[in-house]
Amino acid sequence: FQGGMLAAVETLSGEKAASYHGDHSQPDLPKIRTLKEELNRVIRSRAANPKWIDGVKRHGYKGAFEMAATLDNLFAFDATTHLIDDHQYALLADAYLLDPDTREFVQQHNPHALRDMTERLLEAQQRGLWEAPGDYREALENLLLDIEED
């Protein structure tokens, strides 16, 4: 919703609107951050955080689904706001797909999530949202081929 509203404002006005996120996780201490700051916080503290990843692994299929949903949500924000940096896509690729243990976990518990995450990261590259450094494209394409063979 928020990303779509920002995209609409930019389309209609030709200018980027300021965007903020209200964090009410501690009701006695609400915080207002820019959307960029909030996305950075979510990626650092949750999405690419090894402790969070280990925690969702305890939930099997649902944990793998949660990783894929997180990546989808971040991709959607980037598609409408262009606020996810290239190095953050690399962090997510490294954490979910290129880390052998996590990749094996997702493959074992929710192979559709593995395919979906791989396709989503390749789509981010194809759309120009992630200008991947080094060998990320090739690694993800090879992973997708391996998934399709199984």
Confirm if 13 and 3 have CB atoms less than 8 A apart.
no
Distances in Å between the alpha carbon of 36 and those of 3, 6, 43, 48, 85? 11, 13, 11, 16, 10
- pLDDT, average across residues 52-72: 98
In whole angstroms, give the CA distance from residue 62 to residue 10.
36
**Lowest-confidence range among 15-24, 50-59, 141-150?**
15-24
In 2-150, at which residue ranges do the beta strands (DSSP E only) sit? 20-23, 31-34
Residues 6+ apart with CB under 8 A from 78: 84, 124, 129
CA neighbours closer than 13 Å in the CB half-sphere of residue 121:
34
Rg (CA), the chain: 16
- pTM recorded for the entire structure: 0.87
pLDDT at residue 13 in the model: 84
In whole angstroms, give the CA distance from residue 47 to residue 42.
6
2 pLDDT exceeds 70? no
State both tokens at 73: 């949500």
User: Which residue type occupies 5?
Assistant: M
Greater pLDDT, 82 or 13? 82
Number of Cβ within 10 Å of residue 11's Cβ equals: 8
Q: What is the mean pLDDT of the chain?
A: 92
Confidence of residue 103 (pLDDT cuts 50, 70, 90): very high
